[in-house]
Amino acid sequence: MSQVARRYYERGRTALGNRDLESAQESLRAAVDLAPHYGDARIAYAVALAKAGDHPRAAAVLRAGLGRACSPVLAAAMWATLGDVLTGSGDFLGAEDAFGRARANPAFAVRSAAGLARVYGKLGRFADMSRELRAAAIGSVAVPPP
């Protein structure tokens, strides 16, 4: 990855942290354009788009990156973020699928369970929601703090 793409990514993350969504989108899009395989930049760009309300484009950015993921962890991170984006857009069945795919990686089991609980709550599947909340709670206790 180029140093220029890394600088654009860092600038975009800073702007995202400062809630300057327009600058964040611009910088992160540049990072993704310069280094399409740069998964962290792609995820951050999708988050910036989703926070600005452009859920369809955020989902497209993540889907385009799934084939470029250089590790199973990065792919799971993209799937989990896609689940969040799709939940925000109201595509609950798509979100259910995305969280299910993210769950295949044990590092994302808790995040996926929490996401699925949100999805099931929106769908009115309260027994499933309760089961996923329980899994998320048990999993989060089992994970030592960073």
**Tens of pLDDT, residues 74-129:** 999 999 999 999 999 999 999 999 999 999 999 999 999 999 999 999 999 999 99
Instruction: Tell me what the mean pLDDT of segment 26-45 comes to.
Output: 95
pTM beyond 0.85: the answer is yes
Please, which residues have CB within 8 angstroms of residue 61's CB and are 6 or more apart in sequence?
Answer: 32, 42, 45, 46, 49
Q: In one letter, which amino acid is 85?
A: V
User: What domains are defined for the chain?
Assistant: 1-70 (1.25.40.10), 71-146 (1.25.40)
**Cα–Cα distance between 86 and 63 in angstroms, integer?**
11
Percentage of the chain beyond pLDDT 90 is 90
Does an H or E element contain 145, and which? Answer: none
- Work out whether the CA dihedral 144, 140, 85, 79 comes out positive or negative: positive
**Angle 3-17/21-34 helices, nearest 10 degrees?**
160
Residue 146 has pLDDT above 70, yes or no: no
- pLDDT band for position 144 (50/70/90)? low
CA distance 26 to 127: 42
